[in-house]
Amino acid sequence: MRRFVQRFTSCLLVLSMILSFGVAAQADGVASQPLSDINQSYAKSEIEALVSAGVLSGYEDGSFQPAKLVTRAELAKILVIALGLKVKEDGISSTSFKDVAPSSWYAQYVDALVKSGITQGTSQDAFSPNANVRREELVVFLTRALGLDKLTLSTVSKEDFADLKEVSDWAKNAVILASEIDLVNGEEGPNGEPLFAPKRFADRQAIARLAYEVKEHRDAYISKSKELANAVQALKITKIEAVSNTSVEVTFDKDLLTLDKADFAFDKTLKVEAAAFKSGSKAVVVLTTSSQSLGTEYHLTFRGQVIEQAMTGAGAGGGGGGMAPGTAAPTVAEQLASGKTIATLTVTASGSYGPASGQTSVGTLILDPGQSGEVTLTNIHADNLQVKSGAVSSIKLSRSTITMLVVNAVNNNGQPVRILALDGAVVSNTSVESQAILESATTTGTLGAITIQPGAAGKTISLRGNIDGSVTNNAGNAQLQIEAPSNGNAQPTIIHTIHFGSGTPILTVASSVQIQQIVSATPVTIKGDPDAVAKLLDIYPAAVVDVAVREAARLAAVAAIDEAFRQTQVDIPDRLKLFEKADLAIDNATSLGVSELAFNISSYREMKSAVQEIFIQLNALQIQYQPGDSADSVTQYPIFPSLNDGNGAILIQSDKSEVLSTWGPLQRPAYGAGDAVVHITLTLQKGAFSASKVVALTVKQFDATIQLAQSVRSDLVLVYFNHPVVNSQISDFQISGLQVKGITQYSYLAEYALLSVDKQTDGKDYSISFQGKEAISFKGGESNRCSATTCPTSITPFPEIPLPNSQVPGGIHGFVNEWSETGSPAGLKDATVSIVGTNLTAKTDSQGYFKIDQVPSGVTYTVQITKADYSTIVSGQFSLQSGEPYFAGIWYLHKKPRPVAVLNAQVINSGKVSINWYTNEVSSKDNNIYFQVIHNGTELPSTGTTIMQFENLKPGSDNTFSVQACNDMGCSDPVEISVQLPLQLKISDVRPVDTVTGTVYEQLIRQGEASTYVLPTSASSADVIRFSLSDLDYVSDSGAPMLKGVLDGSKAKASVIGQQADLPVELIVDNGVTYLKVKLVPPPFTDMHVTGYTFYGMKYTFEGKEYTVDYMGLNIVPQ
C-alpha cells in the first residue's frame, strides 16, 4: 500500500511540474488573479481548483494557455526531477539517440529516464525531443512512473474505447489500465461512442484534469489497482493444444483484454513467432510457432509463470493437435491465398500473396521480408498493415483494401521502403514512422490520408505519383521530398494538400511535380528544382526560398543565356527556342529573388533583339522568279535577294552549283536527265550574328526537238538539238528511207548526236523526227566532210565532234578560290595547277581561273593545286571523253586562320567565368578550324566550340584568357582578354535597428540552411536591418579583424523581391566592425511572408588592390 501511495504522490508532483514548466513564479504577497483564457476549457473547474490549492499557477500575463502542448524533452526533465532519478554529475550524456546531442540541455535527463526504464525512445536510435507528447505517450509515461507498467490486465470490467485499435501496441496495456482505474475517461464521439484519441497531442488542460483526479481520488485509484493486481493472479490456462506443426491454441478461463506474444514462451527451442485471438473469442489465443517435433512434449511459460500442463508437438505429416494425418501445415502464402479470415500473420519472404479471386481478410498483417525483400499483395483486406522492412523497389498493393497502413521500417538498416499503390488498392489511412517512399501509380486506388508521425523526425519521406489524399507532416524536421514518378509509372506526381505541423518545415520538390495546396502556420522553406519552386510561389507565396534554389536558378539562367550566346550555328527557329528557354530561366530566377544584375542581361537582350531582327529580315528575304516560273518550275535564272542598306550581307549557297549558282547562268538539265531539285541556302549576316534558311527549287529539264540535221558522210548524219539531250536511244530517231544503226553522243556536246545510218543517196530529201515530234528534212550526201578523227559541227564553242571510237585530245579547266575576310569566296591568283604524272601545268589568273589544253583523252588523271603559304589539294581521279574540255570544278585553298573577330568574357560568380568568341573563318572538311585556349599561361586541350566555361577559380583572382584559331596550316595570332573575379564576403550578426529610438535589437536567429533570419515581434518597431561583413576565412573570437581590407559601399545597392526600384545601402564602421544598413521593408505581398534582399555594387581593397564584391543574399521572415 505504501508503495502505491508514494508513487501516486510522485505522479501528482509530475503533473504539477508539467503545468508549471516554463511559467514565471508569482511574486510573494501578490494575490493570484483570475485566469483570463480558461472559460472555454473543458477542465475549467479542475484548473481553478488546482490554482486555488497552490498546485499550479498561470503565466505572468494572466493566461493559463490550456491548449499549449508539451514536448518530450520537457516531460523528460519533469519526470526525472519529480521521481528523484539520478543525473550524471559531469552533465555528459551517454545516450545512443542520434537526435539527442550530448551538449543539449535535456540530454542528461533523457539519459536518466532511459536507464530507469521509463522510456525507450520513439525508435532504436531516436528520442524525438522536440516532438509534442501524444495522449497515449503521456499515459505510458505516468503508468511507468507509478510502477504500474508491469501490471497486465486479464479481464474487462467495462466497454472498450471505440478507437482502441488506433492505440499503438506498446501503449495499449497502459491505456486500458488507466481506463480501468478511471484515471482517464476519454471523450464522447459523434455517435455517442467512447473515444480515447490516442494520437492527439496532450495539452495543459488535459494534464490539469489528470492532476486533479490524482489529487482528489488517490485512494480510489490505489484500491482499484490492487483489485486489478489480484485479478491478474486469478487468470488460468485451461487447455494447450497443437493444432498444426506451427500453430498452438491456448485456452484461458477468462477473456484477455490485451495480447502480446512476448507473454508466451516454450522450452526446447520452440519459438513463438506471433500471437492472435482466435476468431470470435478473446479467451482463446492462437500462437504461431516455429516447426514442432512430432510427439515432443513442450511446456509453456505465460507471463513468467510455467504452466504445468504439457503440450505434445504435431509433426509436419501427422495429426497432433487436431489436423488430419498426412496434411502439411499451411504456409503463409497458402493462408493468404485461402480467402479466409486470419487474425495475425507475418510475411518474412519475398513473393506475391493473395487469392486469385475473392479476398483474404487479415486483422494484423506484418510485412518484414528484409531490406531486399519485395512483396506484392493482391485481393487482400487488412485492418492493420504494418511494413517493417522491404526493398526500395517496392511493397506493392493491388486490388486490396487497407484500413490502416503503418510504415515503420525499423528492420531496414536506414534504407527506405517503397509502398506502391496499383489499380484497386484502397488505403484509408497511412501512418509513416520511418524513412519511406510512398508512390501511387493509379487513379483507381489511393494511399488515403497520409500522416508523417513524430517518429519520422530526421528521416526522408518521398512522395511520388498520384497522391490524391491530404498529407500531414507532424515530424518537425522530417525531410519531405516530392519526386518525379518512377520509371514505368505513367501517373504524374500530383499532391492535393500538404499540412505542416510545428517545427521548421522544409519541402523539396522535383521538376514537373504539382502541389495544389500548402497549409502551414510557419513559412515553409522550399528546396529543389528552381522551375518547380517558382511555380509553387504562385500557390504559396509565403514560401521561404532556399538560398541554394536561388543560386541554382541564377546558374540555370546564366547557363541558358550562355547557350543562347553559344549556339550561333543553329537555325533561327531553334535559336529563338533557346531565347524562350533563357527568358523562362530569367523569369524563374527573378521571381525567386535573383536580381537581373546577376546576369549579363543587357548583352543578352541586345543579342536577342539582333537575332529577332535578323529573323524578321530573313523571313522577308524572297527569291523572285521570272514570268511564268515558280519555285516548283524554274526555267529561267531567278532573281536572288540583296540588301540595299549596306548593313550586313547575304550569302547564297547552292547544293547543285552546276545547275544554279550566283556566278553562272542557269544550267537546266538536259532532256532525258529529269528535273533537278536545287536547295538554295540564304544566310543573312549582320555583325556577329547570322541566320539561314533553305529554299527548294525545281529546275525543269529542257524539252528538246531537232533543230538541224545534215549529212557529213554517206553513212553519218549529224543532228543538232535546240537544247541538250542525254540518254537517247536508236528507237528515238526515225529517218524516212534510212535505218539508224548507232548513236554517238558526248556529255559535253549534249546538243549533238552523230547517227550511223545506211548509205545515203546523194541529193535525196530525207525527213527525220525525234521521239515522234515534228520532223524536219535534210538532203542526203555521199561526200566526206570529216577528218580521220572528227566531223565539223560549224557551231562554236565546239566546232568538231569526234568520230565514233576515236580518241581526240581534250582540255582541263576550273577555278581556285579562297574565303575572304567577309566570309565570301574570292579568286586566288598564281596558284599552280598540275596534272599529276605529266609535265602539264597552268597558273590561275586574277579570277582564279585555269586552263590546260592538249590533254590526251581516255586516260585517268588527278590534279594537284598548290601555292606558297597555302594548303595543297589533290583531286580525285577522273578521265576525259574524246575531245572533252573537262571542268575540274571550283577548289578552295586556305592559309592559317585570321585572329578571332570577337572575344567576350562573362563573370558568372566569384569562382566561375564563361568566355565566347566569334570567327569569320569558314570551316570545312578541308579547312577544319579549331581553337587553342590559354588560361593564365596554361594551354588547354583544343576545342571546336566557340564557348568555354572555367569553374572552381579563386575568388578575387586575375584571369587572362587568349584564343587562337587554328587549322592544318598553323594558328592565328592570339586575341586576349583579362577579367578579375569578385571576392566573396560572408554576412553575420544580423540585427534590426530602430533608428528613431536608437535601439539595436538582439542578433536574429538563422532559420534552416538558407540565409534566412526570423524577425521577432519584439523588434516590430525596427526600420533598418544592420549586418556585419567578414572575410570568408575569418574565425570569430580569434582577435583578428573581421575584414583585412577596406570595403567601399558608396555604390552599394539592394534589390528586393517584388520591388522595381533598388534600395540604397549605407556602410558604417563601428568600433572597427564594418556594417551595412538597409531599409527594412515588409514582405512585398500580403500573402508572402519573406523579404528577400540581394546586395551588390561594393568594392573591396586588399593589399593595395581593388576587387568587386560578389552578390550576397539575405531573407527576413517576420515571426
Instruction: Render the burial of 595-632: b for 16+ CB within 10 Å, e for the rest.
Output: beebbbeeebbebbeebeebbebbeebeeebeeebeee
Evaluate if residue 805 carries a pLDDT over 70: yes
- Over residues 293-309, mean pLDDT: 83
> What pLDDT score does 22 carry?
44
> What pLDDT score does 835 carry?
95
Report residue 683's pLDDT band, with 50, 70 and 90 as the boundaries.
confident
Evaluate if residue 24 carries a pLDDT over 60: no
Residue (of 409, 551, 437) closest to 493 by Cα position: 437
Residue (of 72, 75, 62) closest to 19 by Cα position: 75
Spatial neighbors of 609 by CB under 8 A, at least 6 apart, are: none
> What pLDDT score does 231 carry?
55
> What pLDDT score does 322 carry?
37
Long-range contacts of 586-590 (CB under 8 A, 24+ apart): 586/557, 586/560, 586/561, 587/534, 588/530, 588/531, 588/534, 588/553, 588/556, 588/557, 589/530, 589/550, 589/553, 589/554, 589/556, 589/557
pLDDT, tens only, 592-612: 877 766 666 777 787 788 778
pLDDT, tens only, 696-715: 999 999 999 999 999 999 99
Higher pLDDT, 413 or 1066: 1066
- What kind and span of H or E run contains 396? strand 395-398
Evaluate if residue 929 carries a pLDDT over 50: yes
> What pLDDT score does 327 carry?
43
Would strands 1012-1015 and 1112-1118 be described as parallel, antiparallel, or unpaired? parallel
Evaluate if residue 163 carries a pLDDT over 90: no
pLDDT, tens only, 708-742: 999 999 999 999 999 999 999 999 999 999 999 99
Report residue 70's pLDDT band, with 50, 70 and 90 as the boundaries.
confident
Signed CA dihedral, 585, 586, 587, 589: sign only:
positive
Residue (of 784, 770, 799, 790) closest to 708 by Cα position: 770
Signed CA dihedral, 73, 74, 79, 80: sign only:
positive
- Over residues 659-672, mean pLDDT: 92
DSSP states along 534-569: HHHHHH-TT-EE-HHHHHHHHHHHHHHHHHHHH-TT
CB 392 within 8 A of CB 487: no
Evaluate if residue 868 carries a pLDDT over 80: yes
In percent, the amount of the chain with pLDDT more than 90 equals 36
Spatial neighbors of 84 by CB under 8 A, at least 6 apart, are: none
Average the pLDDT over each of 144-158, 469-483, 677-691, 957-971 and give the range with the smallest value.
144-158
503: number of Cβ within 10 Å: 20
The span from the CA of 237 to the CA of 235, in Å, is 7
Which residues share a beta bridge with 460?
Answer: 479
> What pLDDT score does 609 carry?
83
The span from the CA of 1043 to the CA of 721, in Å, is 93
- Over residues 278-305, mean pLDDT: 84
Higher pLDDT, 231 or 938: 938
- Over residues 435-452, mean pLDDT: 88
CB 362 within 8 A of CB 383: yes
> What pLDDT score does 456 carry?
85
The span from the CA of 784 to the CA of 983, in Å, is 96
Spatial neighbors of 602 by CB under 8 A, at least 6 apart, are: none
DSSP 8-state secondary structure symbol assigned to residue 645: S
- Work out the mean pLDDT of the chain and round it to a whole number: 83
CB 71 within 8 A of CB 81: no
- Over residues 1068-1078, mean pLDDT: 86
